[in-house]
Every structure is written in C-alpha cells, then in structure tokens.
C-alpha cells in the first residue's frame, strides 16, 4: 500500500464505504414496507377496511375477509404467552438468581438449544406426537366441561390448543433469555438491601423483579412478537380453518399460516394482493410490538450503558 | 404458624416452582430430541443422502437434491449477507453514538423481528414477481436478508470488545483509521465474528417459511440458481403434511439431519467462545 494520502480523505472513504452498507441495511427495511404496500394496493383499494371486518375467506368466489386470521394469530399468541410467561420467568429467575454457578452454563446452553431447533422440526413433532396427545386429552374431557365454549367441539387434535402449546414451547427460550439479561442488569445492591432488611430469598427476588419490571414486560412482549410471526409449526398443527371460535379445540387459522399455505398458489392478482395485505399487517403488528418491547428493554439497560460508551470514548477521540 | 414461618414457606415454594419451570421447559426439548433421534435413526441410511426422491407409492429414495439445494441456498444467502452484515457492523462500532449508527442498529433489530414469512413475501415481490419465476437465487436472497441483522449485531458487539489499546497502538504507528480497523481491530475480533456467522448459518439453514414461495421446490436435481430448487426444510414440510407413511419416515430422517446440523454448529460455537474467553483471560 502506498503512503497514506491525506488522512482526512482516507477517513472519508472509510466512512462512506462502510456507511454505504449501513444505508443498504436501512434501505432493506424500508424496501420491505414499500414492497408490501405496493403489492397489496389492489386489495387495499378494492376492500378497504371491510377486508378486516369480513369473516368469509373464499378465494374461488373472490371473497376475501381476513378477520379470522387476525383472530387466530392474536388468540394463539395470547394463549401461548399465558402458558410461556410464568415458565420463562421461572427459568430466568432460576438461572440468574438461584442456580449454582456451575449449573448456569449448561442450563443456558439447553434453553438456547430449545430456541435453535428449527420451526419445521417442532411442526413435524407437533403433527405426530403432540396432536395425538392433545386428541387423547380432548377425548378424555368430561361431559360437563364440553358445554363450556372454551372446550366445545369434536376432538380433532389439530386446533388452537395444539398451536398454543407448540408456540409456548418455542417462545419460552426467547422470553427467558431476555428476562435473564434484564435481571443481570439489576444492581446487586438492590438484593443486598433487601436481605439487610431481613427479606427472605423470594422477597429479595421480588425486589429485583420489581426493579426490572419494564425490562421484564419488554421480554414478554418480545416473545409476543415472535409468536405473532411464527409460521411453520403453527401451520402444521392449527388445522387451517378460517373461523372465529373461542374454543381451544376448534381448528383455526393464522395470518402467517395462510401465507405459507396459499401464497404460491394465488391464481389471480386480487388474491395475491389480499395475501400480501395480510403480510403487511403482520409486518406492522410485529414492528410495533418489537419497537415497544425494545424501548422497555433499552430503558432498563441504560444504567449499564454509560460504562460501555466510556470505555470506548478514548478510542474515538484518538481517531 | 408465625408470620416469619409463612414468609419462609412462601419463599421455599416459589424457589421450587422456579426449579420446576426449568424442568417443564426441558421436557419438550427432551421429547423433541428423543422422537427426532428415535424416528430419524431408523429411517436414515446412505440412500437418504445419495438418492433422489421416488415417486408416490414407491418406497425408498432419498433427498440428495434437497440436501444439495439447502447447501446452495444457504451459501447464496451467506454470500449476500456477510459483506453487508460485517461492513454495517464495522460502521456501527466505529461510529458508536452517531445518529446514523443508532439508525443502523434500529434497522437491524427491526429486521431481526420481521417474521420470516414476511421476508418471503418481500423477496417474492422483488425477485420472483418481476421475472415471473421462482429461483434458488430468490431463496438465497430471502435467507440472506434474515442473516444480515445477526451478523451485523455480532460484528458490532465483538468489535466493541476489542481493547482500545490495540487500535491506539496501530494509530500511534501512523495507520489510518481504515487500516487500523481492517488490519488490527477486525482480525482481533475475527474468531468471534466467524463463530457468529456459523451460528447464523445454522439458524438460517433450518428456515422453511421464507423458501416456500421463493426457492419453491424442485423434484429434480438442480444446481441452477435461476431455477426453482429443492431444500431439505421445504421437503420435510411437504413430506410431513402428505398422507404417505414412507414420506413421514423420510421427513423424520430429514429432521434428524437438520437437528444434528444445528446441534453440531452450536456446540462448535460454544467451544470456540469458551476457548476465546480462556485466551482473553490468559492475555
């Protein structure tokens, strides 16, 4: 390499060179939004708001109502969170507050493994192991319970309950790892203070949880965002029937699942645009959830942030 | 029972519940791994790797085309994502605190949260719709878009961990910023970045949703990136949801291959991180 020309020009090239890739990354995110709007315009113009207020999804007849999909997505995600939240918090507390140091690493590895298993493998397992088990459970439902809307319907196995269970399994590692990080950010003095006042172990942990509450909420919401967009495993066990039902036993449908099943086969433009519109709304929903949850988590991490910036401040001023 | 007894009892109960939640979460993990290994191992044989899928009704055959297809699509994704991920990571680390760096970080986190199926829709609209053809290239693009934020964040975090003294040494010797970064700082963080890329590859190779309508599927052996291509994950999906016993068997075999790959990659990454930590502590 020749002697550096002007250092300032060199710096400029470096900044522009790496900056171009950074802009490209930002551009991709913007392009996703733009492409989704562009490819769903026919449906947006044609149906307007009624798209989200209609229950009939009949591509052959050209009728497109997406309300069952929104319902299925929200219902399955909320159910999954109800199951996964206590477990995820329990794991986070156990690993960060209770477990001996030697157990931490293996436990973290195992929960990470839970997150690393591909969605399609969960789906396969869901079809052949979970769904039959759920069917047995449904058959064993006592008669008086079946009159409750929550448990009505034939014992099919596939349906909302299977989807919620598999989603819960998949969401647990996400929520628990973020909650663990958040708990790590709680100053040790908080716990010591609680102990000094005579708190029991749980009372000290409760103090830490209270201190970390915004971050914990963020962790749970991050899991919610994951659940909304989860596709393969849900598609394989939820039954794929566009209907709005409160029953846990009823086969239903989600936004991601209808995309997975019907997108490649969309025969006309309006059908395709209707599907892309579902994708667009899914994108917006996850975007909002993610931004809010990240704000929560970030506001927790701020206490530890200045140290990191300071450590690199000299480097920046030197350059 | 006094109040203190009560408080202590509550504390113990909750501690037990926390331990129990770990057990509850590990049960599905154990079950999934057990079934995948038990069902997969009886179906997995050499012909799974070397033979083509047989038509419906004929027993046997393998997923040779899908395995090659998965490798091609994943590598295409990596080729696309690694430069963008690393360079934008370098930018975010070098210009920490600037508004642009925050914007990139925000974009990466956003992209990371976008459901993979939506990324599939996006790539469909920019790479399939205009040319009216599903292709391996489109599948690679979709996986690449998913990899970018993972690589960018790892790169940034690891660059920030490199001791400032290293860079200062380079600068003091008269290196320009670009030179200091690319010949001193990045190489120092390289093992970690490679580990991150490995983990991203493992995660992305198991993706199905973004491939469903980008790479689509192909019954034949194809290495042409402009044509639809078969992938392991999509093949498992098709086989699992079809009503044929022999296809189910092959789906389990495919799942075993996927899980083994993921497991080996995360184990390698673990070992690499542990070794790096040891080195850093020794230094």
Per-residue model confidence as pLDDT tens digits over B46-56: 888 988 888 87
Cβ–Cβ contact A53 with B under 8 A: no
Looking at residue B61, the DSSP 8-state letter turns out to be: B
Cβ–Cβ contact B135 with A under 8 A: no
Instruction: Compute the nearest-CA separation of A308 from chain B (Å).
Output: 9
Residues 6+ away with beta carbon under 8 Å from B55: none
Cβ–Cβ contact B8 with A under 8 A: yes
Instruction: Compute the nearest-CA separation of A76 from chain B (Å).
Output: 16
Q: Flag residues of chain B having pLDDT under 70.
A: 1, 279-283
In chain A, what residues touch B119 (CB-CB under 8 Å)?
32
Contact: A119, B28; criterion CB under 8 Å: no
Instruction: Compute the nearest-CA separation of B166 from chain A (Å).
Output: 10
CB-nearest partner of A18 from B15, B19, B90: B90
Q: Which helix (H) or strand (E) holds A57?
A: strand A57-58
Residue A242 CA to its chain's centroid (Å): 22
pLDDT recorded at residue A147: 84
Instruction: Report in angstroms the alpha-carbon separations of B129 from A88, A140, A264, B213.
Output: 41, 49, 11, 10
User: Between 2.60.40.10, 1.10.3720.10, 1.20.1250.20, 3.40.630.30, what CATH number should domain B66-282 receive?
Assistant: 1.10.3720.10
Query: Cβ distance B267 to B260 under 8 Å?
Result: no
pLDDT recorded at residue A310: 35
Instruction: Compute the nearest-CA separation of A188 from chain B (Å).
Output: 19
Contact: A35, B31; criterion CB under 8 Å: no
| Chain B residue closest in CA terms to A85 | B21
Query: Cβ distance B134 to B128 under 8 Å?
Result: yes
Contact: A110, B29; criterion CB under 8 Å: yes
Contact: B96, A316; criterion CB under 8 Å: yes
Looking at residue B227, the DSSP 8-state letter turns out to be: S
pLDDT recorded at residue A309: 36
Q: How far is it, in rounded angstroms, from Cα B215 to Cα B225? A: 9
pLDDT recorded at residue A153: 86
* Count of C-beta atoms within a 10 Å radius of residue A88: 29
pLDDT recorded at residue B281: 64
A to B CB pairs, distance under 8 Å: 284
* R_g (Cα) of chain A, nearest Å: 24
In chain B, what residues touch A311 (CB-CB under 8 Å)?
164
Mean pLDDT by 10 residues, chain A (319 residues): 67 92 96 96 92 91 92 97 96 93 90 92 96 94 86 90 97 94 90 92 92 93 95 95 93 96 89 95 96 87 45 35
pLDDT recorded at residue B282: 57
Contact: B206, A311; criterion CB under 8 Å: no
Query: Cβ distance A118 to B208 under 8 Å?
Result: yes
E strands of B121-174, at which residues? none
pLDDT recorded at residue A316: 35
| Nearest 10 degrees: Cα torsion B91, B96, B100, B102 | 120
pLDDT recorded at residue A34: 97
Domain edges within chain B: 66-282
Q: First and final CA of chain B: distance in angstroms?
A: 56
Q: How far is it, in rounded angstroms, from Cα B33 to Cα A246? A: 32
Cβ–Cβ contact A118 with B under 8 A: yes
Cβ–Cβ contact A36 with B under 8 A: yes
- Report residue A44 as tokens: 């947006």
A-facing residues of B in 145-174 (CB < 8 A) are 145, 148-149, 152, 160, 164, 167-168, 171, 174
SS (H, E, C) A148-171: CHHHCCCCCCCCHHHHHHHHHHHH
Burial class (CB within 10 angstroms; exposed 0-12, middle 13-18, buried 19+) of B202: buried
What pTM was computed for the model? 0.92
All domains of chain A in start order, with CATH: 40-318 (1.10.3720.10)
pLDDT recorded at residue A300: 76
- Report residue B127 as tokens: 């790479």
Instruction: Compute the nearest-CA separation of A242 from chain B (Å).
Output: 18
| Chain A residue closest in CA terms to B236 | A120
Contact: B21, A89; criterion CB under 8 Å: yes
CB-nearest partner of A260 from B124, B206, B212: B212
Contact: A117, B24; criterion CB under 8 Å: no
């Amino acid at each position: 390499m020749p002697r550096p020309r002007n250092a300032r020009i060199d710096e400029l090239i470096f900044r522009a060179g790496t900056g171009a890739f950074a802009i490209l990354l930002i551009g991709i995110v913007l392009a996703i939004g733009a492409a989704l709007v562009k490819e769903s315009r026919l449906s947006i113009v044609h149906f307007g708001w009624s798209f989200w207020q209609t229950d009939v999804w009949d591509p052959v007849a050209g009728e497109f109502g997406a309300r069952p999909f929104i319902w299925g997505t929200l219902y399955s995600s909320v159910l999954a969170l109800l199951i996964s939240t206590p477990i995820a918090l329990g794991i986070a507390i156990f690993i960060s507050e209770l477990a001996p140091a030697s157990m931490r690493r293996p436990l973290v590895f195992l929960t990470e493994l839970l997150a690393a298993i591909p969605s399609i493998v969960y789906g396969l397992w869901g079809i052949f192991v979970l769904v039959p088990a759920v069917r047995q459970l449904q058959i064993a439902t006592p008669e008086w319970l079946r009159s409750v809307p929550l448990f009505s319907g034939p014992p099919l196995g596939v349906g909302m309950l299977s989807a919620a269970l598999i989603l819960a399994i998949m969401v647990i590692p996400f929520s628990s790892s973020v909650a663990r990080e958040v708990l790590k950010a709680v100053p040790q003095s908080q716990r010591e203070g609680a102990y000094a006042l005579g708190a029991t172990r749980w009372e000290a942990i409760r103090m830490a949880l209270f201190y970390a509450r915004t971050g914990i909420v963020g962790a749970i919401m991050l899991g919610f965002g994951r659940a909304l967009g989860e596709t393969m495993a849900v598609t394989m066990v939820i039954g794929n029937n566009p209907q709005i039902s409160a029953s846990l036993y009823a086969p239903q449908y989600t936004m991601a699942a209808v995309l997975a099943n019907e997108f490649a086969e969309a025969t006309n433009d309006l059908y395709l645009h209707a599907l892309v519109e579902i994708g667009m709304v899914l994108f917006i929903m996850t975007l909002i959830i993610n931004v809010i949850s990240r704000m929560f988590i970030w506001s927790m991490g701020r206490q530890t942030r200045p140290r990191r910036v300071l450590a690199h401040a000299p480097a920046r001023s030197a350059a | 029972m006094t109040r203190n007894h009560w408080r202590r009892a509550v504390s113990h109960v909750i501690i037990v519940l926390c331990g129990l939640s770990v057990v509850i979460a590990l049960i599905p993990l154990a079950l999934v791994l057990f079934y995948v290994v038990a069902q997969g191992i009886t179906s997995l044989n050499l012909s799974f790797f070397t033979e083509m899928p047989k038509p419906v009704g004929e027993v046997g055959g393998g997923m040779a085309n899908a395995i090659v297809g998965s490798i091609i699509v994943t590598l295409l994704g990596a080729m696309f994502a690694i430069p963008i991920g690393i360079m934008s990571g370098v930018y975010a680390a070098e210009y920490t605190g600037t508004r642009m760096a925050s914007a990139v970080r925000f974009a990466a986190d956003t992209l990371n949260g976008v459901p993979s199926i939506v990324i599939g829709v996006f790539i469909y609209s920019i790479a399939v719709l205009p040319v009216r053809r599903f292709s391996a290239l489109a599948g690679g693009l979709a996986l690449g878009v998913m990899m970018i934020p993972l690589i960018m964040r790892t790169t940034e975090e690891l660059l920030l961990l490199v001791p400032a003294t290293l860079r200062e040494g380079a600068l003091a010797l008269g290196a320009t910023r670009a030179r200091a970064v690319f010949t001193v700082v990045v190489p120092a963080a390289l093992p970690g970045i490679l580990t991150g890329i490995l983990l991203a590859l493992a995660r992305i190779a198991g993706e199905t949703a973004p491939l469903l309508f980008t790479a689509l599927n192909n019954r034949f052996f194809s290495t042409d990136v402009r044509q639809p291509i078969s992938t392991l994950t999509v093949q498992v999906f098709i086989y699992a949801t079809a009503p044929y016993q022999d296809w189910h068997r092959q789906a389990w075999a495919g799942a075993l291959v996927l899980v083994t790959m993921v497991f080996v990659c995360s184990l390698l990454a673990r070992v690499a991180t542990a070794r790096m930590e040891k080195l850093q502590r020794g230094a």
